[in-house]
Structure 1
Amino acid sequence: MNKLNTALKKSLKLETSTSRTILELVDGRREELEFKQERPTEFTVSDSEFSIKSGIDVEVEIQNVDLVATSKVLWPGKEIRVRGGIDGQGETIKARAKIPVNSTINNGVDAESFLYWVIETPEGALHNKKPIYMKGLIKGLPPKDAVFHSQDVVPIYDNNGNEAGSLYNCLQSN
């Protein structure tokens, strides 16, 4: 198998995005939260791998996510903040895209991300142990004009490890 590994490493920023998710607590209360990006999301593109048969696999490390929403149902008027990456759980978040042979990213390629969040609420911090698996179609990096959707219901936990609820119907628009 012919493969060429590259040592490409480039830092990029996604200046704006909006996100929304449904946060459901274990007691059955739930709210669709609409988040705005508090600061640009920084990420690094590296470790791309080329195969003559399958194309290019682009690996992305998301350094930070910083989102803010104002609760209308669960904690009316209170701020809910989501942090991810180095400023969240202390590690980068992984994402990747696959560029098929004889194609370019400009044609639109499938991308996926695996998000770990720390959700700061008035009742304490919550986090996911299983990634929020997001899929979307991108036409460039940074992924402007892209929409990503979550694929599963993801349990969330409090700082004592107790299940506190779940996240689902996550949507991110860049």
Structure 2
Amino acid sequence: MNLLKSKKIQMTLPSSNSKTYFELLDGRAEELHFAQVNPTKFTVNDSEFSLKSGVSVDLEIENVDLVATSSVLWPGQQVRVRGGIHGQGQPIKASAQIPLGKKMADGVQAESFLYWVIETPEGTFHNKQPIHMKGRITGLPPKDATFHSEGTIAIYDEKEDQVGTLYGCLQSN
């Protein structure tokens, strides 16, 4: 009998809002405001404890499904972002770090590494380098939390040609 079976807890984030700056190589750009189409499902994996650093909680985000209506790049048309199993085909990795002597409810650092499939009127795009999102959470699911990205991420078409960049990503749960 194995007493050390790993525990996985399924959770759902019912709603969130996101925005990102989307810039094409020809210089056209737009700040897209996304709404969540379907609840985001994720799995909380067993935590790891270290006497030096505290507890590390690992998560797998199974699906991201967002939609925005363009007003500049493709006026009136939808842009859809998918991530996770229904996006690039595998869960998105995320984690939270709980320092020694603290509880998650005190507010702890969390981060995620997003790979997106972006459906636009000009074709389907994707990023090869993850969008590194950072935020502070007080519980799971991460309600009342805001995550932001730093830097610029190149996006590519289906032929692997760069078509533009993403930056200034922000997600509020």
Q: TM-score range by the shorter chain?
A: over 0.9
- Seq. identity, %: 62
> 1:36-47 maps to which residues of 2 (within 5 A)?
36-47=35-46
Q: Classify 1:55/1:6 alpha carbon distance in 2 versus 1 (closer, same or farther; 3 Å).
A: farther
> 1:121-136 maps to which residues of 2 (within 5 A)?
121-136=120-135
- Distance in structure 1 (CA, Å) of the matches to 2:5 and 2:27: 49
- What is the aligned partner in structure 2 of residue 171 from structure 1? 170
2:45 aligns to what SS in structure 1? strand
- Distance in structure 2 (CA, Å) of the matches to 1:114 and 1:151: 12
> 1:2-17 maps to which residues of 2 (within 5 A)?
7-17=6-16
- Distance in structure 2 (CA, Å) of the matches to 1:59 and 1:6: 16
Cα RMSD, aligned residues only: 1.0
Q: Following TM superposition, where does structure 1 have runs of at least 4 consecutive aligned residues deviating by more than 4 angstroms?
A: none
Does the 8 Å contact 1:114/1:133 carry over to 2?
Answer: yes
- Distance in structure 2 (CA, Å) of the matches to 1:44 and 1:160: 33
Instruction: State the Cα distance separating 1:42 from its structure 2 match.
Output: 0.2
- Distance in structure 1 (CA, Å) of the matches to 2:98 and 2:88: 30
1:119 counterpart letter in structure 2: I
Instruction: State the Cα distance separating 1:48 from its structure 2 match.
Output: 1.4
Unaligned stretches of 5+ residues in structure 1: none
Tell whether 2:160 aligns with 1:156: no
Unaligned stretches of 5+ residues in structure 2: none
Does the 8 Å contact 1:116/1:129 carry over to 2?
Answer: yes
- Distance in structure 1 (CA, Å) of the matches to 2:98 and 2:5: 15
Instruction: State the Cα distance separating 1:47 from its structure 2 match.
Output: 3.4
- Superposed CA deviations along residues 34-54 of structure 1, whole A, max 9, x for unmatched, are 000001000000031011221
> 1:1-174 maps to which residues of 2 (within 5 A)?
7-174=6-173
2:105 aligns to what SS in structure 1? helix
- Distance in structure 2 (CA, Å) of the matches to 1:79 and 1:39: 16
Please, what TM-score do these two structures have when normalized by structure 1? 0.96
1:113 counterpart letter in structure 2: S
Does the 8 Å contact 1:65/1:82 carry over to 2?
Answer: yes
- Distance in structure 1 (CA, Å) of the matches to 2:117 and 2:145: 23
- Distance in structure 1 (CA, Å) of the matches to 2:100 and 2:48: 12
- Superposed CA deviations along residues 48-93 of structure 1, whole A, max 9, x for unmatched, are 1011221100000000000000000000000000000000000100
Please, what TM-score do these two structures have when normalized by structure 2? 0.96
1:97 counterpart letter in structure 2: A
